[in-house]
Chains A and B, each alone.
Chain A
């Protein structure tokens, strides 16, 4: 997803890591239950009903074994 670039300066200087923006927002990884989240990053869409996104965000948590579990529901 990126590469480390150690600039060889004194220890106080930060280690540089380069990441492409589209990898930073890999939608398939971030939201397995809502694959099209990016096109909704803007004005709300024209439905006038309940908004599920907080509920869906809570669901995307996994335990140490990689099993999806529900937080706080």
Chain B
């Protein structure tokens, strides 16, 4: 999986990299230019929920796929939006019922029509307990693939997390899949949290998982790609340098070498109808993960507190990522504890947004009236810079102090020593870099 922050590590292992997988997570995404084939992996067009992917998001994914001539496009068999028009803030597991199969198949067909190339769904991580009145994981994935006539991206790390967290064993899942539809494997490192193995993409691939993936690959005669997923945030903290990445890529080559070396399992009969409306399941999910207290039939699942914690962490992460100067101002002027309390209150009261700009605007509204000097100005400046980039128009922001001193201090992470005054910052869009003469 390619990110700009991994470019140096990837370049250092050029001979081991046959392709890169690209995840366009922003509306301004630049495609990788690394002299390798690029496969597009979406995160904005999840196909597992009753709310279908937005046409604009499918169109954006199609444009990226066309630019790099991606051989297929993949996205997640997950729920990322509730019918209440609220973003889930996290990939949540769909119901594993016949209705949910039909819902996913409809979404996949729609996505395929827009991207105009083969579509694969990723087998998702599911921290919930398996439910007796729903399909086993492998049967569900197989049913979706057959109903949608699509490819499967088998995320072996997700399936391994699921097995370790009490769901169907990996090899049983794989035995249920139509082997000829599996085009890609994902591998990653995870981390333990509150008794769960999380699909964190946080480090190297567990050696046990490598051997399991070799066994999985041996049963897949039409496998076309094996991908290592790693979030750049973890590179430094986990000591992943070029040598470590090289070793990981060599393991992937071992997995690749094993593909199709065994006869796949015979195709299984389609499962019988399993009742349960996808939309009803999603309303139960929303009741469990949203709001001040978990409610509904899923509230008792031991994974719900984990989901609530992870969803809150992502939302806080989006706020501090979108508004780094605002976050520093709050910490420097009010302290870490007060800032944490403010963010906790924000997350508890407001649903997450899929896009960081929308999250930042929502936080700006929430933060009105917060007692912190220059907070409104810094918020307006950070949002103004976004707007200048997106609209291509100049944006004006008023300050009640000399802005360079304030903003330079925040950039350095030092307490600002401001000089009062009346100033107006004009933020120029990128194509008009540099100042302009006075009128």
Q: Residues on A close to B: CB < 8 A?
A: 1-3, 5-8, 12-26, 29-31, 33-54, 56-58, 60-64, 66, 71-72
B43-A49 in contact (CB<8A): no
User: Could you give, for residues 363-388 of chain B, a 1 whenever the CB lies within 8 Å of some chain A CB and a 0 otherwise?
Assistant: 00000000000000000011001001
* Chain B contacts for A37, CB-based, 8 A: 321, 324
B125-A41 in contact (CB<8A): no
A56-B233 in contact (CB<8A): yes
CB distance from A1 to the nearest CB of B (A): 7
User: Could you give, for residues 343-374 of chain B, a 1 whenever the CB lies within 8 Å of some chain A CB and a 0 otherwise?
Assistant: 10000000000111100000000000000000
B26-A41 in contact (CB<8A): yes
Interface centre among A3, A33, A35, A46 (most CB of B within 10 A): A46
* Chain B interface residue count, Cβ-Cβ cutoff 8 angstroms: 93
Closest to B421 in A: A15
B4-A54 in contact (CB<8A): no
* 27 A-B pairs (CB sep. < 8 Å): A2-B404, A6-B438, A14-B398, A15-B424, A17-B424, A18-B428, A18-B434, A19-B428, A20-B428, A20-B434, A21-B428, A22-B389, A24-B385, A24-B427, A26-B411, A31-B324, A39-B4, A40-B25, A42-B27, A48-B124, A48-B125, A48-B158, A51-B313, A51-B317, A52-B233, A57-B327, A62-B412
* Chain A contacts for B208, CB-based, 8 A: none
Closest to A73 in B: B336
B191-A50 in contact (CB<8A): yes
* Chain B contacts for A38, CB-based, 8 A: 26
Q: Select which of B122, B199, B331 is within 8 A of A61 by beta carbon.
A: B331
- Tell me the complex Cα distance, A18–B343, Å: 31
B67 at the interface (CB under 8 A from A): no
B318 at the interface (CB under 8 A from A): yes
User: Could you give, for residues 287-321 of chain B, a 1 whenever the CB lies within 8 Å of some chain A CB and a 0 otherwise?
Assistant: 00000000000000000000000100110111011
B336-A24 in contact (CB<8A): no
- Tell me the complex Cα distance, A72–B332, Å: 11
Given A44-B318, A57-B327, A5 and B436 contact (CB-CB distance below 8 Å): yes
Given A41-B321, A44-B314, A15 and B385 contact (CB-CB distance below 8 Å): no
Interface centre among A19, A20, A26 (most CB of B within 10 A): A19
B423-A44 in contact (CB<8A): no
User: Could you give, for residues 25-63 of chain B, a 1 whenever the CB lies within 8 Å of some chain A CB and a 0 otherwise?
Assistant: 111010000000000010110000000000000000000
B232 at the interface (CB under 8 A from A): yes
B23 at the interface (CB under 8 A from A): yes
Closest to A57 in B: B320
Given A21-B385, A51-B317, A42 and B234 contact (CB-CB distance below 8 Å): no
- Tell me the complex Cα distance, A25–B428, Å: 12
Interface of chain B residues 60 through 114 with chain A (CB within 8 A): 76, 80, 89-91
CB distance from A49 to the nearest CB of B (A): 3
A41-B356 in contact (CB<8A): yes
B190 at the interface (CB under 8 A from A): yes
* Chain A contacts for B331, CB-based, 8 A: 58, 61, 71-72
Minimum-distance CB pairs A-B, first 9? A49-B200, A36-B5, A72-B336, A53-B317, A14-B424, A49-B198, A3-B435, A47-B201, A24-B385
